[in-house]
Amino acid sequence: MFPSRGRPGRGRLATSFAFFAGETTVQKTTRLALLAAAALALPAAARAQTTPAPAPAPAAPPAQPAPAADEAAQLRQKIGALQQQALQDPSLKPAQDSFNTVVSAAMGRIDPAAPAKLARAQSINADIAAAQAASDNVKLNQLAAEATALQTYFAGIRPRAMQDAQVVAARQVFLARVLEKMKQIDPNAQQYVDRLTALSQGTGGR
């Protein structure tokens, strides 16, 4: 049983959710677009290849993870699953939309070109669907490259936007809402977060 603690402070909450927080709808859109385009835009040479590749040499067995690292990985997976389930709740959509708006505005202050790239990230899926329907692999390859460029762009600008004071404040509000929803789904969610925080800070001894 994990030790029971009180509500985490802002720093602990941000640390425990660091692996998911700040991922805007735009990033999810470009990531999905990239995956879709990459899966569909197969080069003709690759499709025509019929000779199987030689079997790779057996890999050395992976080293056994330390118990604390293994526990932390399990907790991240459990918390991540709860986060995704919580974010599916329609009641969180206004909070998520509000946070995304604040992040988008911060990106726009950093780079005036950001709004146009945000709009393109939202519209690229329609182009992918159209190219897929037309079996246009040339276009799909082009879209895959464009999606990769968008993903790279947002990967560079998002960390800077996340340092914006307005984004920091909005992020704390949003994370608190997500955690409350997670606790409704699983009453032990707070204990998972507390335990992961302790492990991350090297104070997870029992």
Q: What is the pLDDT of residue 201?
A: 81
Q: Which pLDDT score is estimated for 153?
A: 95
Chunk the chain into consecutive blocks of 10 residues (it has 206) and report each block's average pLDDT, rounded to whole numbers: 41 43 43 40 36 51 64 91 92 92 96 95 93 94 94 94 95 92 93 89 67
The three-class DSSP label of residue 112 is coil
pLDDT at 182: 94
Structure tokens at 24: 């805007």
* pLDDT at residue 40, as a whole number: 37
Confidence at residue 118, expressed as pLDDT on a 0 to 100 scale: 94
> What DSSP string describes 117-152?
HHHHHHHHHHHHHHHHHTT-HHHHHHHHHHHHHHHH
What does 148-194 look like in DSSP terms, one character per residue? HHHHHHHHHHHHHHHTSHHHHHHHHHHHHHHHHHHHHH-TTHHHHHH
Q: Return the pLDDT at 60.
A: 54
pLDDT at 53: 46
Q: Domain segments of the chain: what residues?
A: 10-41+68-200
Q: Note the pLDDT of residue 135.
A: 94
